[in-house]
Amino acid sequence: MRILGIESSCDDAAAAIIETDRAGVAMVRASAAANQDDIHRAYGGIVPELASRNHVITIQPVVERTLAAAGCKLGDLDGIAVTRGPGLVGSLLVGLMYAKGLAQATGLPLAGVNHIEGHLLAPLLEHEVAMPYLALVVSGGHTALFMVEDFGSYRRLGSTRDDAAGEAFDKVAKLMGLGYPGGKIIDDLARSGNPRRVKIPRARVKGAPLDFSFSGVKTAVATLLRSEAGVTLSHADLAASFQEAVVEMLVRPTLAAAREVNADTIALTGGVAANSRLRECLAADAAADGRRMVAPSFKYCTDNAAMIALAGSHRLLRGERDALSIDAAANLAL
Ligand code: KG4
Ligand code: ZN
């Protein structure tokens, strides 16, 4: 099955073509994205209206570029998969309407995909992972632990009570005047800092050991920067100390969940999965516990259309398809 995937839930307009065999194993033929970091940088965060307006301009060229890179035409496809939520509604609508137009014109079956399901399955694009597996999804919009029981069958074990981990990275980078998006900048800066130099409190959610909370770390950094000590503080030390706190607050519930469900494999996925310290710590702690950690390479950690094509191909393989009347759903639940 050769599937075109389209993703536009946030600030990336992406397309990919994957081929899935009968066993459901996927091979990525092409994957491309139009990145908008340069547009949103001036605002220190994503401006939804600018994101959707730019998707309108870039979506068709990105799809055409992807088809050309895969060496195929629309007539060579077996289906179209598109993100229908969760995300920014204006952004979602651009990809969804474009996909519906293609489905209408070609008669190809359409599969609407939950963006989180895409992130949960992304590790399968490059690794052989037996199900069930535990997945930690950490991105700019989401932080949650899911048991991936089968394609289409996911059980949420825990999630953030407030900010997403990526949101905390971005907000702290903004507070420190480091630029946008903040995750990679903090990751790079932290390499030359001392993670034990600044005291950052680690939050635990009372009575819910598999849940997360990141608003406290953000407030701690803001308070520190406003204080007298904040004036002379090394930014590298602060970045390293903040990152260490976030990593610990992600790793502890993940290991607790792995023990609770006795998961052999822990998949780390979503934009924050690109964080070098998180990859290092989770891999080490998982190994010490007799478990394996897998994480996609950077291009499949952040938003991409290959993961959407993969999730959609399995819906189509199960005989499911969506009517052209499906709508975007900003708060779509999994
Ligand atoms: O998955 P993604 O591309 O978009 C969402 O669905 O949110 O994730 C983007 C997030 C941003 O918050 C960004 O700062 C964060 O991933 N990120 C990182 C790193 N690279 C990207 N966070 C920490 N360390 C990184 N190296
Ligand atoms: Zn995402």
User: Which pLDDT score, from 0 to 100, does residue 258 have?
Assistant: 98
Q: Give me ligand 1 centre to Cα 271, in Å.
A: 3
- Token digits for 94? 């651009």
Name the residue of 114, 116, 139 to mutate for ligand 1: max ligand atoms within 8 A of Cβ.
139
The overall average pLDDT reported for the chain is 96
CA 13 – CA 59 distance, rounded (Å): 6
Please say if the pLDDT value at position 185 is more than 80: yes
User: Which pLDDT score, from 0 to 100, does residue 229 have?
Assistant: 85
User: Which pLDDT score, from 0 to 100, does residue 305 have?
Assistant: 98
Angle between helices 235-261 and 276-288 (to 10 degrees): 40
Q: Give me ligand 1 centre to Cα 139, in Å.
A: 5
User: Which pLDDT score, from 0 to 100, does residue 21 have?
Assistant: 87
Query: With contact defined as beta carbons under 8 Å apart, do 2 and 78 qualify?
Result: yes
pTM score, whole prediction? 0.95
Q: Which helix H or strand E contains 59, and what residues bound it? A: helix 48-70
User: Ligand 1, closest atom to CA 12?
Assistant: 3
Stretch 22-27: mean pLDDT = 85
Q: Lowest-pLDDT range, 19-23, 107-111, 195-199, 305-309? A: 19-23
Helix (H, G, I), strand (E, B) or coil at 273: helix
User: Ligand 1, closest atom to CA 167?
Assistant: 12
What's the full length of the chain, in residues? Answer: 334
Stretch 40-69: mean pLDDT = 96
CA 62 – CA 83 distance, rounded (Å): 15
**Which residues are paired to 16 by β-bridges?**
5, 31
User: Which pLDDT score, from 0 to 100, does residue 295 have?
Assistant: 97
Q: Give me ligand 2 centre to Cα 55, in Å.
A: 16
Name the residue of 92, 120, 184 to mutate for ligand 1: max ligand atoms within 8 A of Cβ.
184
Task: Write out pLDDT tens, residues 109-120.
Answer: 999 999 999 999
Write the residue with the smallest CA distance to atom 23 of ligand 1.
Answer: 183
User: Which pLDDT score, from 0 to 100, does residue 24 have?
Assistant: 77
Q: Predicted confidence band at 44 (pLDDT cuts at 50, 70, 90)?
A: confident
Which amino acid is present at 322? D
Which amino acid is present at 130? A
Find how far residue 172's CA is from the centre of its chain.
Answer: 19
Max CA separation in the chain (angstroms) = 65
Q: What percent of the chain has pLDDT over 70?
A: 100
Which domains, and CATH codes, for the chain?
2-122+301-317 (3.30.420.40), 130-295 (3.30.420.40)
Taking residue 209's Cβ as centre, other Cβ atoms within 10 Å add up to 13
User: Ligand 1, closest atom to CA 9?
Assistant: 6
User: Which pLDDT score, from 0 to 100, does residue 23 have?
Assistant: 78
User: Which pLDDT score, from 0 to 100, does residue 45 have?
Assistant: 87
Please say if the pLDDT value at position 175 is more than 90: yes
Q: Give me ligand 1 centre to Cα 280, in Å.
A: 17
List pocket residues of ligand 1, CB cut-off 6 Å.
10, 139-141, 166, 169-170, 181-184, 187, 270-272, 274-275, 302-303
- Token digits for 299? 């291009």
Stretch 136-141: mean pLDDT = 94
Q: Which helix H or strand E contains 207, and what residues bound it? A: none
Please say if the pLDDT value at position 61 is more than 80: yes
User: Ligand 1, closest atom to CA 276?
Assistant: 26
Stretch 21-39: mean pLDDT = 92
Name which of 249, 85, 266 is nearest 168 in CA terms.
Answer: 249
Stretch 21-44: mean pLDDT = 91
Please say if the pLDDT value at position 256 is more than 90: yes
For the chain, the C-alpha Rg in angstroms (whole number) is 20
Q: What percent of the chain has pLDDT over 90?
A: 94
Task: Write out pLDDT tens, residues 209-243.
Answer: 999 999 999 999 999 999 988 888 999 999 999 99
N-term to C-term CA, the chain: 25
